[in-house]
């Protein structure tokens, strides 16, 4: 009988996870089909990973940088074989949906071990999968950080089961995702100083994580960077003008009030904290220190970022991926901790109530914030508008193997090639593709008006390019002759591109 219950339990779990994977995959792909994905970041990742699958050096002309120079993200090399199955950007969108959703499997196993309660464990999985931060992490194009939730949940499961090899495997895997994961690893280690039986390993982990981070940003990445420096030090500038991790540490000890102001001195950050803890009915507050420390550290790493993309402070992009899993894991430990204070007779009822409140709070959050999963139920999300069909037709006219420059929302449909640039760069490309049906972020880093002026005053001027195919507001331009691109108003402007390596 027990065996039958276990089979039924995991059947329900896998059906739920499979259904959610399909829903998120569909929304991701349909968003791309509707030209609502962009050259940065989806086109950048698509081009680089596609090149790896073809044995080509993964320099991204879309991002103007090569893969390991942008961030330390060697784990992306593991995705290259997917392009041998299907040579299409949609494959990494589908993979990301399944990976993020099935990260809930070790989360469920962790909850079952600690709480021994099926309904509560399913409710925590539900809260994780429908948390607004999880949804945006999955549906905000593709990013390497979405690998992390699986290894975070597996790591804490390994701690509970005392599986040391699996624990160290997860630590090493986190190092390969992105350089700032090393800081999270360090925070995990510091947290484990408060976990009996894991203090020595926690100390080693804390020191190792910090040392790996310093090694990456000060030595390794600058060593193989074309520019010779780690390009993201400005992320630390919001605290007292510091522009480096070591500068931040100095300010932390000399002027901690400045650091505190940088952490919570903005309404967007307060809103993120309230929304996050509300979804998980404030359970994380009651979690043990060894998990609460990395959770708070994760919020701190995001809040110390200055910009320009202040969305990092919010729950509307991939940066919420790690926090989503840490909130769920801390909810598991908090439930187990609170359950120990209640008699066995009342514990089951208590866990049922927690599970119900978790589900209700998550649903309320989805309704109030109009979560992106609602797209699945909207009729217009399935409609193929005329401007989209026009873009389909024009893109189909682009020859294979040629260099292309395109506006931001068309570029990720063209990046599986050696040279695919985001306008206003790539001005000696064989072809340029444009669509003047105005959409949000479609022309970034330019505005709609700036792009129109740029096309008329530069691209079409002196017959540099000619329109060879046009449908509606979409058009394909072919180069007539090469020009001196250094005279472009946007040449070598790092606001628009990291470097300028366009075709000459």
Q: Give the predicted TM-score (pTM) of the model.
A: 0.94
**What backbone torsions phi and psi does residue 232 show, to the nearest 5 degrees?**
-120, 20
Q: Is residue 83 within 8 Å of residue 53, measured between CB atoms?
A: yes
Maximum alpha-carbon separation in the chain: 84
- At residue 347, the pLDDT reads 93
Q: How crowded is the C-beta side of 111, counted as CA atoms within 13 Å? A: 29
Residues 6+ positions from 383 with CB-CB distance below 8 Å: none
Per-residue model confidence (pLDDT) at position 149: 98
Q: What's the confidence (pLDDT) of residue 499?
A: 47
Residue ranges of the chain with pLDDT lower than 70? 1, 234-250, 252-254, 258-259, 306-308, 494-504
pLDDT value, residue 343: 85
pLDDT, tens only, 355-383: 999 999 999 999 999 999 999 999 999 99
Provide the token pair at 203: 């100390």
pLDDT at 19 (0 to 100): 97
pLDDT of residue 504: 41
CA 119 to chain centre: 29
Residue 465 pairs with which residues in a beta bridge? 479
Query: Exposed/middle/buried for 438, CB within 10 Å: 0-12, 13-18, 19+?
Result: middle
Q: What is the pLDDT of residue 242?
A: 53
Per-residue model confidence (pLDDT) at position 486? 79
Predicted pLDDT of residue 500 = 46
Ranges of each domain in the chain: 107-376, 386-487
């Amino acid at each position: 009988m027990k065996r039958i219950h276990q089979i039924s339990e995991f059947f329900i779990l896998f059906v739920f996870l499979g259904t959610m994977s399909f829903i998120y995959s569909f929304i991701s792909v349909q968003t791309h089909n509707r030209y609502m994905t962009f050259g940065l970041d989806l086109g950048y990742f698509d081009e680089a990973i596609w090149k790896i699958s073809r044995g080509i050096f993964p320099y991204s002309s879309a991002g103007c940088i090569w893969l390991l120079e942008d961030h330390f993200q060697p784990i992306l090399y593991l995705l290259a074989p997917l392009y041998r199955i299907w040579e299409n950007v949609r494959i990494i969108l589908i993979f990301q949906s399944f990976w993020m959703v099935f990260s809930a499997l070790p989360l469920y196993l962790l909850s079952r071990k600690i709480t021994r309660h099926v309904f509560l464990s399913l409710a925590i999985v539900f809260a994780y999968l429908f948390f607004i931060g999880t949804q945006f992490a999955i549906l905000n194009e593709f990013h390497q950080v979405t690998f992390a939730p699986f290894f975070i949940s597996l790591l804490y499961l390994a701690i509970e089961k005392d599986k040391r090899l699996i624990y160290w495997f997860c630590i090493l895997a986190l190092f390969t995702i992105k350089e700032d994961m090393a800081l999270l690893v360090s925070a995990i280690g510091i947290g484990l100083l408060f976990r009996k039986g894991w203090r020595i390993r926690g100390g080693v982990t804390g020191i190792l994580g910090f040392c790996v981070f310093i090694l990456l940003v000060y030595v390794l990445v600058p060593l193989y960077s074309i520019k010779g420096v780690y390009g993201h030090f400005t992320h630390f500038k919001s605290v007292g003008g510091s522009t480096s991790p070591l500068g931040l540490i100095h300010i932390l000890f000399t002027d901690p009030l400045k650091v505190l102001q940088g952490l919570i001195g903005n309404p967007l950050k307060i809103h993120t904290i309230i929304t996050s803890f509300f979804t998980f009915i404030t359970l994380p507050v009651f979690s043990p220190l060894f998990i609460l420390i990395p959770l708070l550290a994760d919020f701190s790493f995001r809040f110390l970022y200055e910009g320009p993309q202040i969305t990092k402070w919010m729950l509307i992009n991939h940066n919420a991926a790690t926090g989503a899993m840490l909130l769920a894991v801390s909810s598991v430990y908090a439930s187990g901790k609170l359950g120990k204070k209640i008699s066995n007779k009342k514990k089951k009822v208590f866990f049922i109530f927690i599970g119900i409140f978790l589900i209700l709070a998550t649903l309320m959050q989805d309704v109030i914030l109009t979560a992106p999963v609602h797209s699945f139920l909207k009729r217009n999300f399935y409609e193929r508008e005329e401007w989209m069909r026009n873009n389909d037709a024009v893109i189909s006219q682009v020859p294979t193997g040629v260099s292309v420059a395109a506006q931001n929302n068309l570029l990720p449909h063209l990046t599986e090639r050696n040279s695919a640039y985001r306008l206003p760069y790539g001005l000696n490309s064989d072809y340029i593709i444009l669509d003047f049906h105005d959409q949000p972020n479609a022309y970034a880093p330019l505005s709609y008006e700036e792009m129109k002026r740029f096309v008329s005053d530069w691209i079409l001027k002196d017959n540099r390019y000619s329109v060879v195919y046009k449908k509606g507001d979409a058009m394909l331009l072919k180069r007539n002759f090469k020009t001196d691109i250094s005279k472009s108003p946007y040449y070598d402007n790092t606001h628009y591109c990291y470097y300028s390596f366009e075709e000459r």
